[in-house]
Amino acid sequence: MRGKATVIAPANIAFIKYWGTQDWDRTLPFNPSLSMTLRECFTRTSVEILDRAGSDEVFFKAHGRSMEPASEAFSQRVLPHLARLRKWAGEEVSFRVATENSFPMGAGMASSASGFAALTLAVVAALGRQVTGEEASVLARLSGSGSAARSVLGGYVKWPAGEGPEEEHAVQVASAGHWDLRDVVAVLQEQAKEVSSREGHERAPTSPYFEPRQRLLHDRLERVRKAILARDFSALAPTVEEEAIDLHLIAMSSSPPIFYWRPGTLEVLAAVRRLRQEGVEVCATMDAGANVHMICTPDSEAAVAEVVGRIPDVSSLIHDGVGQGPMTVDEHLL
């Protein structure tokens, strides 16, 4: 039915990171990436079609607050994507959009992947259109948040980096049911990061280590993919950590350099290494921020939370895990 739709879309955590954009018009990355779609950290977005040409309306519900007109900065990110989707649909309509996140803004969790995946899918559904997962992935990617291309699918998801129809959209590597991995997030930084990931993508090629990284990545991604398919945690863990350090090596050696880590980041990394030496199945990864995602098996989750939760710089822990991907729901925000 056309008119109104609400979609819940989850965030994701990259095991192999998208870092560096070669074409901003189409949001095409330099390198392939691979992530785990989450389930507890998500964006819920309602879209209502207004059958008139005119201006779009954007509302945002912050944690513990009521629905309010979105800030200028928030609207400036949403409105261009609505214009793009309107052009794609070829319809003279306006949109009323309301959105909220399941996780507190300021918890330092990237919300652009879940946000743009939810917005894209809710607009498509409100227009009464049907799209395949591949088409949804391309539409979400064009928002400028490349990682949104992966959040439209559940489980373990790869986004290739080449040109051509098979390369431009994300694909599922394995379903959520294939391997129950958890993500315990150690929150160290409550405020938004100082340098946006867009800025990071732009600076990445200035690092002298950017080219060597490109040569290493394809083999590293294959190792991660095979470890997931084989449910082999001991093969997954060192590769995921190697990749996380690599992303930050590029950021720190970009011009000008970007330092996302905080002292607590190193403490958590050391605790994770100690836990692994003691036989706990856990490894750590960070996106463009200070917070540490601790990927672990269900049996290890309690030990990880117990040890890392005691580190003074860790302000809170978020418990998440692999999820099924977006869904349409009836609980509208409008």
**110 near ligand PMV (CB under 6 A):** yes
Between 48 and 287, name the residue whose CB sits nearer to ligand PMV: 287
Q: Shortest gap between Cβ of 288 and ligand PMV (angstroms)?
A: 4
Between 33 and 46, name the residue whose CB sits nearer to ligand PMV: 33
**95 near ligand PMV (CB under 6 A):** no
Between 4 and 205, name the residue whose CB sits nearer to ligand PMV: 205
Q: What distance in Å separates the CA atoms of residue 106 and residue 316, rounded to the nearest whole number?
A: 12
Q: Shortest gap between Cβ of 144 and ligand PMV (angstroms)?
A: 7
3-state helix, strand, coil in the chain (%, to 5): 40, 25, 35
How many other CB atoms are found less than 10 A from the CB of residue 41?
23
264-293 residues near ligand PMV, rule: CB under 6 A: 287-288
Q: 298 near 327, Cβ under 8 Å?
A: no
Q: Interacting stretch for ligand PMV, rule CB under 6 A, among 86-94, 144-152, 172-180, 187-195? A: 144-152
Of 5, 8, 9, 14, the one binding ligand PMV (CB under 6 A) is 14
**295 near ligand PMV (CB under 6 A):** no
Q: Token digits for 125?
A: 């559904």
Task: Please list, residue by residue across 118-153, b when 16 or more beta carbons sit within 10 angstroms of its beta carbon and e when fewer do.
Answer: bbbbbbbbbbeeebebbbbbbbbbbbbbbbbbbbbb
Q: Is 297 exposed, middle or buried (0-12, 13-18, 19+ CB in 10 A)?
A: middle
**17 near ligand PMV (CB under 6 A):** yes
207-266 residues near ligand PMV, rule: CB under 6 A: none
Provide φ and ψ at 22, rounded to 5°. Answer: -95, -20
- The residue type of 1 is M
Q: Token digits for 175?
A: 């379903």
**107 near ligand PMV (CB under 6 A):** no
Residues binding ligand PMV (CB under 6 A): 14, 17-19, 33, 110, 112-113, 145-147, 197-198, 287-288
